[in-house]
Structure 1
């Protein structure tokens, strides 16, 4: 492991938080964080947090998948009222 591997910031999002893809507009998929992992991001040539997202039933991509992954920099928090779509 690299010497600085353990010196990372904590994840920005926690399990159970509502998130959506940033900079996509009103059509952005959204859902709830159900997990995360630290992984190498080849586009940026660095290690970053990656999240597992359970897509909301009315997300555009939910027609063909229930779960997706996203890098931390690609996500933003969602409004709390969207939480009503999920049984917690």
Structure 2
């Protein structure tokens, strides 16, 4: 975790030194049900701790919805 925090800190400093008006976003794309899997929870937790140690304290969680062809199309509502 300390190495990851150091890398994030150095990267954020490099962006600031290059004149970036604000730091870039740090995103984690997680699988459905990640909270139900101890390994996934552990993987997220050390990344979260590293981000906080690097000064990234604003956290937002978003759902990402994706349609796939195997689900088919919804029925038409036109009447």
TM-score of the two chains, using structure 2 as the length reference: 0.20
Instruction: Give the number of the structure whose alpha-carbon radius of gyration is greater.
Output: 2
TM-score using structure 1 length = 0.19
Structure with bigger RCO (C-alpha 8 Å, 6+ apart)? 2
Q: Which has the higher strand share?
A: 1
Structure with higher helix content = 2
